[in-house]
Amino acid sequence: MARPSEFDRNEAIDRSIKVFARHGFEAASTSDLIESMGIGRQSLYGAFGDKRGLFLEALHRYSDGSLQQMGEALATGTAVDAIEAALLVGLGSSRDIETGCLGVGSIIEFSRQDEDINALNDQAGEAVIAAFAERVRAGINAGEFDPDLDPDAVGRMLLALRSGLKVTARGGAKEAELRTTARLAMRGLARVGAS
């Protein structure tokens, strides 16, 4: 048809994710974005419409990647170890204290005020809850977890816990503390009656 884009769309979005994760939506200036993305201003507006359009794509892509990372973590080892790994994956903590979470960040920044962001976060949240719940069911079937547990409720708890861990990590907590916190909150999942 016509002249093709000179930049890779997904790579540009990935770079924008870093900027948004660091500064949030409002405080991420378009000048910061185009510089970090390595594209021109008009390219940003041509490809994504406006700053909000870019953010929606960034949030979507970030949530997808995050869910995939957690899915991989959930697929290994015992139920407790897998869930612990899924809780901690991608938290960054000491390595890159600047990196935040686009999901938590957008919830704090927008609350429930933006319908499109609501939809993205609701969908991503449900997917995470479902992934946790499935692993909890497997843990119950394997005899590791208490059969009285409601897997969906536990899934919601684990999502909330992960949000809290992200806040704690961004607040500067060490990885060992995050791990201890995760373990303590999961303490009640283990089968009590024993065999």
Partner DNA sequence: TCCATTATTGATTGATCAGTCCACAATCTC
Partner DNA sequence: GAGATTGTGGACTGATCAATCAATAATGGA
Binding site for DNA (CB under 7 A): 1-7, 28-31, 39-43, 45-47, 50-52
Q: For the window 103-122, what string marks contact with a second copy as x by the rule CB under 8 A? A: -xx-xxx-xx-----x--xx
CB neighbours of residue 152 within 10 Å = 14
**Choosing among DNA, a second copy, none, which partner's interface includes residue 151 (Cβ < 5 to 8 Å by kind)?**
none
Total binding residues toward a second copy, as defined by CB under 8 A: 47
Distances (CA, A) of 38 to 10, 14, 41, 102: 13, 12, 10, 21
Q: Are 16 and 54 in contact (CB under 8 A)?
A: yes
Residues 142-181 that bind a second copy (CB under 8 A): 153-154, 156-157, 159-165, 167-168, 170-173, 177-178, 180-181
Distances (CA, A) of 178 to 145, 147, 163, 164, 169: 22, 27, 12, 10, 7
Residue 7 or residue 146: which is nearer to a second copy going by CB?
146
Q: Alpha carbon 110 to chain centroid distance? A: 16
Residues 6+ away with beta carbon under 8 Å from 153: none
Which residues of this protein are in contact with a second copy, per CB under 8 A? 22, 24, 26-27, 97-98, 100, 104-105, 107-109, 111-112, 118, 121-122, 125, 153-154, 156-157, 159-165, 167-168, 170-173, 177-178, 180-181, 184-190, 192
